Structure 1
Amino acid sequence: MKIAFPTKTVNGGAVVDSHFGHCEYFTVVTIDDATRCEVARVRMDAPEGCGCKSNVAELLAADGVSVMLAGNMGQGAVDRLAGVGVQVIRGCDGGIDDILLRWLAGEVEDNAEICAHHDEDGHGCHHSHEPVSLEPLA
């Protein structure tokens, strides 16, 4: 299984970027399905204009990514990733290693928050209170 994290570097450490479309790069971690241990970690540079209008979802899926552990993203990105078979878990915050360990322990759940862009004011996040249905990966 491969897990992707939208990543930025803060004080020399890799942390989940709070917004998928603005990340510096993606950290892609390969997990051995039998042992649930990390076996590989690579950096994938984020394509120019990395949001839902880019081909990043298809690139990640082609690389075998099946889960995205992210800070937040817009509905377009969620839909695009889901459309290529990548399950999105939003609401992750902090260092990649910590989030990975918590996810492997079953302690990370999707927070169902959707980020929206609007007008010239730039970026604003709007929290959805509607339940989000995530299909388990086969």
Structure 2
Amino acid sequence: MIIVFPTTKDEGLGAKRGAHFGKANYYTVITVEDSVVKDVAIHKNPGHVTGACSDAVNNIQSLGADVLIVGGIGGEPLKKFLAIGIDVYFDDKNEILEDSLRAFLAGNVAKINPNHTCSHK
């Protein structure tokens, strides 16, 4: 399973998670097999233009993501992730990637409820 976390810095598992998935400085990509971390890779976010975050969705898809863990997401990009088979989970409790990953692997991070998406005005 490949899990993508938007992060603010290139700091591996110790990175602080980025608040906005499309504007995060980096995507930290964790490969997990049988609940064991097999690889950690950091990719600079190539950026995106506004408008339902299509570029950001494509950027994350290109990393081979099965799962995206965010602290918030808009309704349109959520629909796009779900349409291409990327599960989106919501974690607004763990600021550090490693803590969020542990919570996810323990089953303590839920899939995001579409009724709890943020909107951009």
Structure 2 residue aligned with 1:117 = 120
Q: Percent identity?
A: 27
Q: Any idea what the Cα deviations from partners look like across 1:21-54, whole Å, max 9, x if unmatched?
A: 221111110001xx31000011122122266334
Q: Which has the higher helix share?
A: 2
Which amino acid in structure 2 is aligned with residue 20 of structure 1?
A: F
**Any runs of at least 4 consecutive aligned residues in structure 1 with deviations exceeding 4 A, and if so which?**
none
In structure 2, C-alpha distance between the alignment counterparts of 1:29 and 1:39, rounded to whole Å: 8
2:62 is aligned with 1:26 = no
Coordinate RMSD, CA, aligned: 2.4
**Local SS of the residue matching 2:81:** helix
Q: Which has the higher strand share?
A: 1
Decide whether aligned partners of structure 1 residues 19 and 62 sit closer, same or farther in structure 2, where only a CA change above 3 A counts: closer
User: Which structure would you say has the larger RCO, counting Cα contacts within 8 Å and 6 or more residues apart?
Assistant: 2
**After the TM superposition, which residues 1-138 of structure 1 pair with which residues of structure 2 at under 5 Å, given as runs?**
1-9=1-9, 13-32=14-33, 35-49=34-48, 52-92=52-92, 93-112=94-113, 113-118=116-121
In the alignment, structure 1 segments of 5+ residues that lack a partner are: 119-138
Q: What TM-score do the two structures reach when normalised by structure 1?
A: 0.72
Matched-pair contact (CA < 8 Å) for 1:88–1:110: yes
Number of residue equivalences: 116
